[in-house]
Structures are given as C-alpha cells and as structure tokens.
Structure 1
Amino acid sequence: MSRRIVLSVTAGVVVLGGAGAFALAYAGDQSPTLAHSTARYTAPDGDRAGSFSFTTDVTASSGVKSVKVLAWPANSSFAKKGLTAKDMAAVESAVCKPSGGETERCTYKVTVTRADADGSPRGQWHVAVMATAKDGDTMLDTKAADFKVG
C-alpha cells in the first residue's frame, strides 16, 4: 500500500472520528423531550369527586428540573393567542420519578369537585407541558395530550 493511501485513510478516520464526537456531544445537550403522554378525566358522580390525571415520560440529558402541566379548553383564549412559556410559569408542577437512564416518569393529579365540573367548559381540552432540564433547556408542548369534558 502506498504511503499516500495510508495517509488519506488515516486523515479520513480522524475526520470521521471528530464528526462522531461532535455528534455525540451535540446529542448530549438536547432539549427535554416527551413520550407516552396520556390524560384521563373522570367527572364527579353523585357524592364522589372526579379526577384529572396526566402522565408523561420526560427525557433530558442533564436531568429533569421541573415539569409544569396545564389543562386548557380548546375554545379558550389560548387557542386564539397561543400558549407561551410565560403563561406556564405559574402553573402547578408534576411529580417526577426516575424511570431509567435520563428519563423520568412525571405525573400530575388533581381532584375535580362538582363545582369545578359545573364551571368548566364542555368539549375538547388540551394538556400543555413545559419541561425544564437541569441545564436550563426548556421545551413547551401546548398539545401534549387531549381529553373531553362531557
């Protein structure tokens, strides 16, 4: 094999190795992602309170700092103006527990009283989620899951 071919192959391996290292470094700093998001609404029945629950898996390379959850009616002002991170700042947080690797299972649960149900718009609702990683990266999914209030 000529010396020129060996040098070309060596240079190619160094370039590809550097690109691979860059790709791995970049993949390590990805914004949080959601998977397997589900919402469940149960209306109050007689003397029994109802409930709303939302569960999602959040993956963040630096770890999960917080997950905010907001259920909102599809015919609300958010549908017209759009939901922002600023809107999510004051909403309640989900409880997150490690579920393997860089992923945490996050759950939000709330009791729905008869008064809550009677005062809520009927029809389609969406669940907005804002996940913040420990390194400060944030992602907002304004329609992570849907449910109906009948």
Structure 2
Amino acid sequence: MSKRILVSSLIGAVNLGGIAAGGLATASAATEPTLENGAARYVAPSNGNAGALTFTVDAGDHSGIRSLKVLAWPASSGLDPTEAELRYVESATCRSTTAEMSHCTYTLRATKEEAAELAEGTWYVSALATAKDGDTTFVSRAATFNVTH
C-alpha cells in the first residue's frame, strides 16, 4: 500500500471517527454465502395425496444469491456428498427478500409407490449456495429429517 493511500485513510479515519474506520475494514472483507434457519420436513403420502420433502433456508451474500443446489439422502446409505457433486443436482427456488438475502425452498413430491421405496430413518439435506459474485458455501448436513412409512 502506498504511503499516500495510507495517510489518506488515516486522515479519513481521524475525521470520521472510529465508526468510519470500522466500516472501511468491514467493506473490504470478502464474504462467502451464508445459510440460516434451514429446516426440512417430510410428509408421507396419504388419502391419495402425494407426499413431499420440503427444505427451506435463508441464503445471503453481499452480492446476492445466484443459486442453491439441494440433495436429500438417507443416513443409512453411507453417502457423504461433496461440493463438486452438488453442482449437478436439482436447484431450490430462491426469492429475493432484500438485495443480499433470499428465501429458498426445495420441494420434492413423492407418490405413495415412490415413498414406499424410500429408506426409513434419518435423512440429511446437503446444500450448495452460489453467490452472484461466484463465491460458494457447501453444507454437507444443512438439515435432518425422518422418513417413516
């Protein structure tokens, strides 16, 4: 950093006070997308209606959210998906709530026949958030739910 830029920054910090200096430090820090308030729910088919897995999460990044990839998998399968593998799975539908935050929902419907083939027990949801600036965050176990027949 040149001395001229450093001196200008120090003068600005003195003139604007400690709050401005903190703001400069925060503005220059790179951030990765965040996933908050994630929850998964499975409802078994009944009375002729399809069942469904629904995963919701609030995703955020300073540049906004481009996409959220989601994969549900049974704990008994021994799978442990990687970030690279999640690049090729289905996407959630994300709706912007602010310039930086989106509420994302992934729904997978299952007929009675399809649901009967699902492994009973604990399931996990893996998620891969991609920001508009290209940064990513991978969460291997973003949520847990149970499947019962």
Q: Which residue in 1 is equivalent to 2:146? A: 148
- For 1:94 and 1:40, the matched residues in 2 are separated by 15
Amino acid paired to 1:91: V
Residue deviations 1:69-106 (CA, integer Å, cap 9, x gap) = 1111112232xxx3211211211000111112410000
Once the two structures are TM-superposed, the CA of residue 112 in structure 1 deviates from its matched residue by: 1.0
Residue 31 of structure 1, CA deviation: 0.4
Query: How far apart, CA to CA, are the structure 2 residues paired with 1:19 and 1:47?
Result: 58
For residues 20 and 57 of structure 1, what CA distance do their matches in structure 2 show?
25
1:110 is matched with 108
CA RMSD after TM alignment: 2.2
Report sequence identity in percent: 39
Corresponding residue number in structure 1 for 2:72: 71
Tell me, what secondary structure is at the counterpart of 1:121?
Answer: coil
Deviation at 1:61, TM superposition (A): 0.8
TM value normalised by structure 2? 0.82
1:53-132, aligned counterparts within 5 Å? 53-78=54-79, 82-132=80-130
Deviation at 1:143, TM superposition (A): 0.9
Q: What per-residue deviation string (whole Å, max 9, x for no partner) do you get for residues 94-145 of structure 1? A: 0111112410000111211112211111000011110000111111111111
Structure 1 length as normaliser, TM-score?
0.81
Aligned partners of 2:65 and 2:131 also within 8 Å = yes
Aligned to 1:3: none
Aligned length: 136
Partners in 2 of 1:18 and 1:57 — Cα distance? 30
SS of 2:63's partner is: coil
Structure 2 Cα separation of the partners of residues 20 and 51 of structure 1: 44
Structure 2 segments unaligned to the other structure (5+ residues): 1-9
